[in-house]
Structure 1
Amino acid sequence: MRVDHLWLARANPACLDLAVKPTREFQMISRRSEAEALAQLQRLKASYQTFIKLNYEQAAKDCRSCPARGSCCTDAHFVNVNITRLEAVAIRETIARTPRLTCEEKREVYSRARETVKRYSLSATGDTFQQTYSCPLFSRKFGCLVHRRAKPAPCIQHACYENWEDLPPLSLQTRTEHHVEKLNIEIYGAAWAWLPLPVWLTLVDPESDGVELKKLEREWSSQELKNKKFSAYSARQLNFKSSSHQRKVLPVIR
């Protein structure tokens, strides 16, 4: 049994299968290495989130007073958040640990992710930053299910601002994503990529058979590390230039 899930099984025996199911990520590296990377990732995100909140969010609208709460997270014409393998594992661990959701509700997150992948034809190939979707991590009851522990960098960066000059500089997000990329390379080598969040959730689903992830691992690992297009910034810039619409209202975080 994984040590970080012991409390989950004790608190709710019905969660035992979800808590102890082996994970394929640990076949490549030691648990300690990935655990350390997850802790570092959380510290990185927490620092970034605090900096944005203290220095920029005072100029943003409060989503708690928004008449269409959550619309920015579920706007399938706008949301194109891509994450990495380590971030997907962090999201999975956060979902597994949260006491706010029942075991059934936790499984529903992965079901929504699969439905999202199917509905919006999301994939791990092509220009993934051009693929948009409604985020399966948004809950009408709780808001973002991973807000405090595993929120993606673009979601931390963005908020509803009246003036463009009040937005945090994109360089902050770029720097954070660069550190995230370095952590992924350190832990997984070439066996990862920036993919739409719902796609990664299906790949790290505790009840997945792992076949698709293994297939992608072979494809990614067969490429030379130096030839992989890791840069989320470059992909995002290309997507922005080719986009026919630009949105000035972005999701707020509180």
Structure 2
Amino acid sequence: MRKLTEAGALARLQRGKAAFQTHVKFNFERRARDCRACPTPGVCCTDAHFVNVHITRLEAVAIRETIRRTPRLTEDERHAVYSRAREAVERYRLSAAGFSEAQTFACPLFVKGAGCLVHRRAKPAPCIQHACYDEWADVPPLSLQWREERRVEQLNAEVYGAAWAWLPLPIWLTLVDPEADGAELQRLARVWESRRAHGHDDGSAPRGYGGRQQRAPLKNRTLPVLRA
């Protein structure tokens, strides 16, 4: 049963992400390398052989609203985000069907000179947790990310029922594009509802820089980029 409005869920999502970001920053990031001193800024966001971040419907809406409201973007720059998302879907042949967790891409939310466009208000959990560490012992445990993602799953279920799924970030951006007609999202929502009604899919899936269910074959994606 749906208990939350989308607006209420977005507020709770943002509070949870802020708390998660603060926890990672003060307990782990102090042992990571400073991103500002990185010789290749943004490579962890734009490396199409590495990034496989998945998000949910609610997170996609949060990203859309952040892009819409941020004063540092012009209207053309806002449109460019969705254009990059569509290009990523086409270039990397991203799909909402099948084993999407193996699909990698360059993130359309990263802009050279500006960084992540949603860093403070709508950053996905894997991106919050990711950093460059020299020692494996300093890397945040994946259980932190999974706990945050479980909370995100619960919020989605309370708002959308069964009409949501974990998908590659560029796909979700195309689905919530303000200029999209919504037909594809409605079609997918019916598919997800049908699958869950028959017990074939509960919406949970491995995601981010690697994942829960496919941890072994994608182990390299759960680890940070180490630099010599």
User: TM-score by structure 1 length?
Assistant: 0.82
Counterpart in 2 of 1:188?
A: 160
Pick one of 68, 82, 95 that aligns with 2:67: 95
Query: Is residue 2:19 matched to residue 1:44?
Result: no
* Residues 49 and 244 of structure 1: CA distance in aligned 2, closer, same or farther (over 3 Å): closer
Unmatched 5+ stretches in structure 1: 1-28
Code of the residue aligned with 1:159 in structure 2: it is A
Code of the residue aligned with 1:48 in structure 2: it is F
How far is 1:209 from its partner?
A: 1.1
* Residues 203 and 247 of structure 1: CA distance in aligned 2, closer, same or farther (over 3 Å): closer
Q: Provide, for residues 213-237 of structure 1, a one-character-per-residue CA deviation record: whole Å limited to 9, x for no partner.
A: 1110111111235542422348813
Larger radius of gyration: 1
Counterpart in 2 of 1:7?
A: none
Q: Provide, for residues 135-170 of structure 1, a one-character-per-residue CA deviation record: whole Å limited to 9, x for no partner.
A: 000010210000000000000011000011101111
Contact 1:177 1:232 in 2 (8 A): no
Pick one of 187, 192, 214 that aligns with 1:239: 214
Pick one of 204, 209, 219 that aligns with 2:181: 209
Percentage identity across paired residues of the two chains = 61
Matches within 5 A, 1:119-158: 119-158=91-130
Q: Provide, for residues 62-95 of structure 1, a one-character-per-residue CA deviation record: whole Å limited to 9, x for no partner.
A: 1111010000100100100000000000000000
* Residues 244 and 41 of structure 1: CA distance in aligned 2, closer, same or farther (over 3 Å): closer
Counterpart in 1 of 2:89?
A: 117
Counterpart-to-counterpart distance in 2, 1:239 and 1:77? 17
Give the stretch that moved more between structures: 225-234 or 117-126.
225-234
Give the stretch that moved more between structures: 220-229 or 210-219.
220-229
* Residues 233 and 115 of structure 1: CA distance in aligned 2, closer, same or farther (over 3 Å): closer
Partner-residue secondary structure (3-state), 1:99: coil
Contact 2:101 2:206 in 1 (8 A): no
How far is 1:248 from its partner?
A: 4.4
Query: Is residue 2:6 matched to residue 1:34?
Result: yes
Counterpart-to-counterpart distance in 2, 1:198 and 1:190? 21
Unmatched 5+ stretches in structure 2: none
Query: Is residue 2:146 matched to residue 1:171?
Result: no
Code of the residue aligned with 2:141 in structure 1: it is P
Counterpart-to-counterpart distance in 2, 1:247 and 1:69? 20
Cα RMSD (Å) of the superposition?
2.0
User: TM-score by structure 2 length?
Assistant: 0.92
Counterpart in 1 of 2:29?
A: 57
Pick one of 175, 189, 194 that aligns with 1:222: 194
Matches within 5 A, 1:15-30: none
How far is 1:250 from its partner?
A: 3.6
Counterpart-to-counterpart distance in 2, 1:238 and 1:232? 7
How far is 1:240 from its partner?
A: 3.1
Counterpart-to-counterpart distance in 2, 1:246 and 1:85? 23
Counterpart in 2 of 1:12?
A: none
Contact 2:64 2:177 in 1 (8 A): yes
Instruction: Give aligned pairs, total.
Output: 222
